[in-house]
Structure 1
Amino acid sequence: MKVSFDNSKPIYLQLMDYFYQQICNGTINPGQKLPSVRETAVEAGVNPNTVQRTYAEMERSGIVEAKRGQGSFVTVDETIIKQLRETISEQYVTTFVVYMQNNGFSETEIIEQVKTALERSRGEENG
């Protein structure tokens, strides 16, 4: 588990972001069991209570389902996972666009920057 924690955001939220990224990119599949609270705490180097809070929040949002005596599992409901992907996408894109606009970039410049970044990314994947 590779998580670099940042002091500007609570650790449990950063762990949620990590798991959500893993779920959205297919590293963790629908129906898959998450590591135990204790295992995640050791791997991430955090207090088990922090991990428990992370799992509880993911359960509250419907992304994770707790099964008594078995652990926590990613939902098999593809609609919920699709909604998670859309929510995350909307948050990041909106943050990016607002940041760029606040720094004086026009819509055309923002689009060109995104195109350039995508081309660079494709080049890195093939290189």
Structure 2
Amino acid sequence: MQVFDDKSKGRHEAWDIDIYYQEKMRLIITLATVLVLEKCPLRTVIGFEWTYGGSIINQRMLFYAGCRHIDFETQVDWHERRQLLKVAFSEDFHADEATVDIQFNSVRRPTPTHWNTCWDYARARLRVSLLNGLCPQRQKIR
């Protein structure tokens, strides 16, 4: 997980994020506990508790027998002011294009190979949907 300063330039703080916010990224590295919560033939569940400042992040990682995907369930008790929390996954793959969700459909977009212009930079910000059970959250692929 990553934390960024929330120094919005306008009056709409949640939607007016500075385009250069990534320049001052901090990693959440304080892992308080790791526990195997469940282990059976159908699935294994590992629990993590992370701390950052006065905040606590509880995360469960679920592995299912015979499935190639991993589910993450995350609960956040966030007490930080003017800081953004971002879930990020390191991926070791390359794709020439990505399919992204839009309202009532999806579209294919090329993945950026460079950021020469502000348009390239803005385009790179939206890439893969990470579902949180309520609505899709944006995640990027480079």
Taking structure 2 as the reference length, the TM-score comes to 0.21
* More strand per residue: 2
Taking structure 1 as the reference length, the TM-score comes to 0.23
* More helix per residue: 1
